[in-house]
Amino acid sequence: MTKTHTIPMTAADPEVAAGTAQFLTPVVLGLQALAVNGKQAHWNVRGANFIAIHELLDTVVANAQNAADQAAERIVALGLPIDARVSTVADKVKATTVPAGFAQWQDEIVAIVGDIDAVLADVQAAIDGLDEIDLTSQDIVIGIKAALEKDRWFLSAHLAS
């Protein structure tokens, strides 16, 4: 007869998991919104810099999706669920300024940079808050911050004079 061993999914302290989720959940939701809004801008961008912005927005979307996945999986690895359904994202994330239809490339960049800035505020709050709770999660969020700042730089460079 084979013995079956049940191994709990996580050995995390429930208070650590809850505290970590408190800081990571807004990051996940903001990143999900950034991915959706980035794709909206990608589809509808117009103007002289079309192809460069169109392709760059795909990179921003992919990076946001990957970062959201990292943060969400960290919450789940600590034993808690994550709710990042579209309805939850819409309820919890501030309204975007990404236009609903066609827009000039400058307007799309300004809108997406605004979305990145909103996520960066949640990311910085997570970095600060996780310092006393969970350094592994803090490290993940520090990496997310670096990637967001790089995407922000690449977009903002198109507006520099």
User: Tell me: the pLDDT tens digits for 41-63?
Assistant: 999 999 988 999 999 999 999 99
Q: What whole-number distance in Å separates Cα of residue 41 and Cα of residue 35?
A: 10
What integer best gives the mean pLDDT of the chain? 93
What percent of the chain is predicted at pLDDT more than 90? Answer: 85
pLDDT at 13: 86
pLDDT at 101: 94
Strand residues in 83-133 grouped as ranges (E): 103-104
Angle at 36 between CA 96 and CA 118, to 5 degrees: 40
Band of pLDDT at residue 161, cut at 50, 70 and 90: confident
pLDDT at 150: 98
Question: Mean pLDDT throughout 11-36?
Answer: 93
Band of pLDDT at residue 97, cut at 50, 70 and 90: confident
What lies within 8 Å, CB to CB, of 62 at 6+ separation is none
6 φ/ψ sector (left φ>0, alpha ψ -120 to 50, else beta): beta
Number of H helices, E strands in the chain: 5, 2
pLDDT at 6 over 60: no
Kind and range of the H or E run holding 45: strand 45-46
Chain centroid to CA 151: 12
pTM of the model as a whole:
0.91
Residue whose tokens read 């977009």:
155
Sorted by where each starts, the structural domains of the chain and their CATH numbers stand as 15-156 (1.20.1260.10)
